[in-house]
Amino acid sequence: MTPERTAKLTQTLNRRQPDLTLITDQVHKPRNIAALIRTCDAVGIPRIHTVTPKEGYGFKGTTRGSDRWVKTQNHRSVSDAIAGAKAQGMKIYAAHFSDRAIDYREVDFTQPCALLMGAEKHGVSDEGAALADEHILIPMMGMVGSLNVSTAAGIILVEAQNQRLKAGLYEQSRLDPQEYKDTLFEWSFPDLADFCHKKGLEYPPMDDLLALMDAPAWYQAVRDGSAPKRQW
């Protein structure tokens, strides 16, 4: 791997925001999921949480490539997704029109938080709205009453990015060291990472230029069954 590519990967990973995430409440259109994940990558979100639509997904997988940079965790219910975020100390901000909704710019996005976005036609579910800590909205000055889910999420997440930039939250790595190490390997060797997951193997060590250290010895250890194991 070239030094330039190595620098790009490490700089991107250094800016990841582990205490900022997105929860999609039954968003089902592939193009919207893909657009949401690209936006999350752009603002430094390392993982998003999706809730399976009642009718199921009309496609396999999540984004067909975008999720190489942003991990996607699927949940069977919005309550499960929200509970997981709250267990990590995150506040839940639902993009939802209601009597208690506030302008999204009034929210402090520098604190641990999750943005909850609803399905294309119906918005955030009643359950999701009830479980959210706050309801937020984007003031609309024209004739159209709402925005596409990916457009709305982009507007809100750029505000979160701006607040975090001003607070200096992108200036140093904030990921757990093990997650940082694992993610850097997965970005550098996605196919080999998949192989290790399938075989229950620990990732082989890399050097400072993100090249495998003593690759022949590791492959031999895999063949003879002595390579370090790991439960994924």
Binding residues: 138, 147
What does the block give as tokens for 167? 């607070």
Is the separation of the CB atoms in 204 and 212 below 8 Å? yes
Sequence-separated (6 or more) residues with CB below 8 Å from residue 231: 200
What does the block give as tokens for 15? 């800016």
Q: Residue 64 and residue 170: Cα distance in Å, rounded?
A: 28
What does the block give as tokens for 187? 């970005």
CA nearest to 146, candidates 126, 127, 118, 165: 118
Angle, vertex CA 13, rays to CA 177 and CA 86, nearest 5: 65
> Which conformational region is residue 49 in: left (phi greater than 0), alpha (psi within -120 to 50 degrees), or beta?
beta
> Annotated binding site for S-adenosyl-L-methionine: which residue ranges?
138, 147
Question: Angle, nearest 10°, between helix axes 3-14 and 177-188?
Answer: 140
C-alpha distances (whole Å) from 199 to each of 84, 178, 196, 206, 227 are 28, 20, 5, 19, 10
What does the block give as tokens for 203? 């990732």
